[in-house]
Structure 1
């Protein structure tokens, strides 16, 4: 019998995987994004369907309760994703800066040609 939280986790994982596949097919996800989010979705589905699988991992990590482990993993996961977003933001800012410099130089050259 599936508990309410298990049903919610299963639905969330399946929806996440559906959108990951959809965005990947539309070209809005890179390979790395699809692998990351697809894996997260599959893990959510797996843990939702088979929650006792975590017991061996929990005993190895010396964590007593499953909820504690999920909270710890959730917080670590959020930090990892925030770091990933930060890196991508820095790259995007660098690309915008280079583009603005290039456009400014081209406009300056066109202005000089007009005045000459």
Structure 2
């Protein structure tokens, strides 16, 4: 019942999903519940970390300005984000496609 109200809750009986599945050199399937920090270990260039969000799903909701629907896409942070799976209140799976080469990235810090 609680999961129906607040969304999926990971427990010891749930099979843990991989954080990042590399499809090709520039395409990745991301578990939206994974932290940005953990996902960055697998990507060609880092997604931004911010105090407003911890998970990739939170980052995507922040970037879209809403909780997006399945099939919605948005280009930001050098990637094309496409929502593959979600519950009523949470993003579950995201496809990331690198849209700019790492050599084209300019560090603005």
TM-score > 0.5 by shorter chain:
no
Structure number with greater CO (CA < 8 Å, separation at least 6) is: 2
- TM-score, normalised via structure 1 length: 0.24
- TM-score, normalised via structure 2 length: 0.25
**Greater share of residues in helix:** 1
**Greater share of residues in strand:** 2
Structure showing greater radius of gyration is 1
